[in-house]
Amino acid sequence: MKNKGFIVHLAGVVAMVFWGMSFVWSTQVYQNLNPTATIFLRLVIATVFLTTILFVFRLNEKIQRKHLSLFAIAALFEPFLYFIFEGYGLKNSSPVIGAGIIALIPLVTPIAARIFLKERLTPMNIVGFIISFVGVIVMLLNKNLELTASPKGILFLCGSVIVAVGYSIALIRLTKLYKPLTITWMQNIVGMIYFIPMVFIMERYEPSNFANVGAYIVPLVCLGILCSAGAYALWAFAFSKLGASKANVYSNLIPVFTAIFSYLLAIEEMTAFKIIGILVVVVGLVLSQMKSKNGPSTGSGSLTEQLNTPN
């Protein structure tokens, strides 16, 4: 049981490593492709990769027609709306600031989880959430205690936080119906369909430089396979075991890994504030995952009653 718990938490951490790096990879691709084209191609790569894995290893599940609407809603939130907001938010900010704002997700999610899923949280979990968020804020400050970012970028990134919470509510329902790989595969297919008209529209206003393929192909493939395929599958697995509130707190690790990768790749400087912030985030994360003496810190309750699972 302990090994199984370790694997669940490891899946959450690895997903955050990939997503933390995604802010760096996206910034590199955006130098040649606009965000919409980037996201569409990223989903195409992920879909091809997952389709190969599912059918070669015979892991594919039959999708029931009555559940297609749920997949459509989930994919509308993420990847469609989420990636639009995140993509244009990141284009108007830095990787670390973008990742830092995304870390608001675990603070907003418990509110929604409490309302829609009746998930319970202990005082220690709440303290952990707050401490972790303080660590994120410290990471985003400069030596003059100022937070400098484009208002436009912040607005887009805050929009991505809101739709990510909506996706979490839909995801907890899907994880009771299908396996993580199936969920990830379907949401990428539906999301890819959503993006087709957007690509043609945005290319008229913001043409991409597709010819310079050598400059963006590697980070684009990494976004597709590691982030849109691997990370989402790992995330759905961790989500199904931990619940919305405790799983989403791992989002606080995204700016930590983004800051580290940005420093190693000489994209952003690793300041004292970022180092202190990273340590505080980790402390908050550990506290948020602690269990009370009386049992688990969070639970989903009766999902059949809460979500009215379709017949």
Q: Closest Cα partner for 210 from 33, 3, 82?
A: 33
Residue 211's Cα: distance from chain center in Å? 30
Averaged pLDDT, 252-261: 81
Cα(217)–Cα(230) distance, integer angstroms? 18
More confident position, 245 or 226? 226
135 pLDDT band, cuts 50/70/90, is: confident
**pLDDT at position 148:** 55
For residue 90, CA distances in Å to 35, 93, 299 come to 9, 5, 34
- Structure pTM? 0.74
**pLDDT at position 300:** 38
**pLDDT at position 9:** 86
